[in-house]
Structure 1
Amino acid sequence: MDRVAEILAEASAEAVEPRFRALAAGEVMEKAPGEIVTIADREAEAIIERRLRELLPVPVVGEEAVAADPSLAHALRSEPAVWLVDPVDGTSNFVAGRPDYAVMCSLVRSGRTVASWIWQPSTATAYRAELGAGAWRDDVRLTRAPAPHDPAKLRGIVKSRFLDPDHRRRLEANAAAFGELSPGRNAAGIEYPDVADGHTDFVFYWRTLPWDHAPGGLLLAEAGGVAARMDGSTYRPEAPGCEDGLLVAADPETWELARGILMAD
């Protein structure tokens, strides 16, 4: 567990942090319509991939490698063990000079996340979780306290960008029942720890890319929270496009309450 945390921090120090608010012309590219990538993403992923393979020689499913070859993501189903890597989560924030970005990694065995790591460079904070062994922020074990039972006191995030217009309007109208809503921080590696730390009570995501959600999903579950599909099934990382819709919450009761409100006709 410690060595993987060191690999993420080392890759961040080598390839990411020196370029924060210092990206040169030509170091930001569009990899798909509306999706950007930087030289920091690509270099950090190469460093992390090489060092993870030295630690455990199994396939590495990295966000940038999958952008170039989508078939690589099928290893999540076909291989007994896979590393999942997000070299810069929150790339748009990173490019804009905002500090809300993270470097993330997970270990997936038989389709289930068994370990995860999140490094937040701007605060030098490390989160880690191991299936059945708990969740940690640096040296502090995380135990998420229950959220308020009154919807008007809940603090949430609703990510509706990728929904069709009719479902988006219904979801956003229903979400008015909650006390405090924010658009989020544009980085799962910031938002999941915020739930685990008690700063946010729930987050609804529609698009669920595996490298975004596997690390935080395990972290939150091991802290006592819930990361589940809208039918109640536990979140498991899938190749992009396989499944969408994910609600994460501080505790089971909050998950049920938020789901009931968000999905109401």
Structure 2
Amino acid sequence: MIDNNETIEEFLAQHSADVQEAVRKAAAAEIMPRFRQLAAHEVDQKAGPHDLVTDADRLAEQYLTEVLGALLPGSVVVGEEAVHANPVTYDAIRGDAPVWIVDPVDGTRQFVHGDSGFCTLVALAQHGVLLASWTYAPARDQLATAIRGKGAFLDGERLFSGAPEPGRDLEVATSHPDYTTDEEKRALLALWTDGVRPRACGSAGLEYLAVARGELDATAFSWEAAWDHAAGLLLVEEAGGTALTRTGEPFRITGGNALPFTAARDAATARRVVELLAGGV
């Protein structure tokens, strides 16, 4: 089993391209053949009509679980659909082994409706530290990658999030307040104020990519499932951005965060969003 960051760095130097290939192959084999071709029996609900799962989700996750586990002996895979079937598997994120965090189709609702705004998310972490990430939007043929300390890239070009232009409203992609606790709802509603332009979020992975590209100023999310956030958080961090919880602490993929939290283009924007979120509670 890999048990130190140096050997993981060696693994990433040798096999990052293999992970990219696995992500692309999972999408080509299991996701894109079903894009705009889903039959009714290939779509199910999990917790309700807004929480969908398809055969593409399940089969792409199975593919990635097999390939990623074989690439890195001693590692474990935490995938969204596996956790739905057996919630205890989520505990591996807090364990000692390197862990692959997988969301096979982030933005399933968009995928089901034939919208291109979905992606496959893979992150590698150990001891709660994000080490590498891959964000692949197959319908747009975009692949974003990040390795801790080595930068963030989109299709091979370095990403720099930068600071928002002075004097304009901050654009913030947010969770819908109606799908939160009362406390979180009050926090999110505080973003509806002068100088801020909130909008509903789409695929979390693609919102993080927009922040890393400097196209979106910040996010404000009220849930902490690691498969939605791990890949994007490292992407934003390596592009120069910052993620903070409502109480101003760094977001932890191991859980226990004060929600909502933000990921922003720069530290000043993150602090501004946090101030608003904290003031709304």
| 2:70 alignment partner AA | E
- Classify 1:171/1:84 alpha carbon distance in 2 versus 1 (closer, same or farther; 3 Å): closer
| 1:144 alignment partner AA | S
Matched, 1:200 2:181: no
Distance 1:167 1:108 in 2: 28
Q: 1:66 corresponds to which residue?
A: 83
Distance 1:167 1:73 in 2: 23
Distance 2:184 2:91 in 1: 29
Matched, 1:264 2:279: yes
**In the TM superposition, what is the alpha-carbon distance from 1:174 to its structure 2 partner?**
4.1
Q: 1:104 corresponds to which residue?
A: 121
Q: 2:236 corresponds to which residue?
A: 220
When structure 1 is superposed on structure 2, of 166-175 and 220-229 the one drifting more is 166-175
Distance 1:166 1:197 in 2: 31
User: What are the Cα deviations for residues 97-139 of structure 1, in whole angstroms up to 9, with x where unaligned?
Assistant: 1111001100011111110000001110100101111100011
DSSP-derived class of the 1:263 partner: helix
Whether the 8 Å contact between 1:163 and 1:206 is mirrored in structure 2 is yes
Matched, 1:33 2:54: no
Normalised to the residue count of structure 1, the TM-score between the two structures is 0.93
Distance 1:174 1:124 in 2: 33
After superposition, the CA RMSD in angstroms is: 1.6
Mark the runs of 5 or more structure 1 residues left unpaired by the alignment. Answer: none
Listed as ranges, the matches of 1:1-265 within 5 Å are: 1-34=16-49, 35-57=51-73, 58-150=75-167, 152-159=168-175, 160-165=177-182, 167-169=184-186, 171-185=188-202, 187-238=203-254, 242-243=256-257, 244-265=259-280
Normalised to the residue count of structure 2, the TM-score between the two structures is 0.88
Runs of 4+ in 1 over 6 A off after TM superposition: none
When structure 1 is superposed on structure 2, of 171-180 and 45-54 the one drifting more is 171-180
Q: How many residues align?
A: 261
- Classify 1:167/1:76 alpha carbon distance in 2 versus 1 (closer, same or farther; 3 Å): closer
Distance 2:55 2:188 in 1: 37
| 1:206 alignment partner AA | S
| 1:178 alignment partner AA | G
Whether the 8 Å contact between 2:245 and 2:274 is mirrored in structure 1 is no
Q: Percent identity?
A: 35
Distance 2:40 2:125 in 1: 37
**In the TM superposition, what is the alpha-carbon distance from 1:167 to its structure 2 partner?**
4.6
